[in-house]
Amino acid sequence: MTTEIVGGAALAPPTAIGGRRSARLRQLAPFLPAMVIIVGLFVVPLALMFVFSFWSTNENLDVVPVWTLENYQNFFTNPTYVRTLFKTMVIGAGVTVVCLVVAFVVAYFLSRYVSRRWARIALLIIIVPFWTSYLLRVYSWQAILGEHGALNQVLVGLGILREPSLLFVYNDFGTFIVLAYLYIPFAALVLYASLERFDFTQLTAAQDLGAGPVAAFRRVLLPQIRPGLITACIFVFIPILGEFLTPSMVGGAQGLLIANLLANFFKTALIPEGAAVGFLIAAFVTALLIVFRRYLRVEDVVVRG
- Cβ closest to other proteins, residue 84 vs residue 231: 84
Cα–Cα nearest to 263, from 253, 249, 248: 248
Q: Compute the least distance from the CB of residue 190 to other proteins, in Å.
A: 25
Distance CA 238, CA 92 (A): 8
Q: What 3-state class would DSSP assign to 140?
A: helix
Q: Compute the least distance from the CB of residue 258 to other proteins, in Å.
A: 8
Sites of contact with other proteins (CB under 8 A): 2, 57, 59-62, 74, 78, 80-81, 83-84, 86-87, 146-148, 166, 170, 248-249, 251-254, 256, 261, 264-271, 273
- Cβ closest to other proteins, residue 109 vs residue 244: 244
Q: Compute the least distance from the CB of residue 252 to other proteins, in Å.
A: 4
- Cβ closest to other proteins, residue 82 vs residue 238: 82
Q: Compute the least distance from the CB of residue 266 to other proteins, in Å.
A: 8
Kindly state the helix (H) or strand (E) to which residue 218 belongs, with its residue range.
Answer: none
Q: What angle do CA 31, 35, 39 make, to 5 degrees?
A: 175
Q: Compute the least distance from the CB of residue 137 to other proteins, in Å.
A: 16
Question: For 59, which DSSP code?
Answer: T
Cα–Cα nearest to 54, from 43, 39, 40, 67: 67
Residues 234 and 295 sit within 8 Å (Cβ to Cβ): no
- Cβ closest to other proteins, residue 39 vs residue 61: 61
- Cβ closest to other proteins, residue 100 vs residue 259: 259
Q: Is the dihedral of CA 135, 138, 143, 144 positive or negative?
A: positive
- Cβ closest to other proteins, residue 178 vs residue 256: 256
Cα–Cα nearest to 83, from 247, 249, 256, 233: 256
Could you give the residue ranges of the DSSP H alpha helices within the chain? 2-7, 17-28, 32-38, 44-52, 70-77, 79-113, 116-127, 134-145, 150-157, 172-196, 201-208, 213-216, 222-224, 226-241, 245-250, 258-267, 271-294, 298-299
- Cβ closest to other proteins, residue 70 vs residue 196: 70
Q: Compute the least distance from the CB of residue 184 to other proteins, in Å.
A: 24
Q: Compute the least distance from the CB of residue 108 to other proteins, in Å.
A: 30
Distance CA 197, CA 107 (A): 12
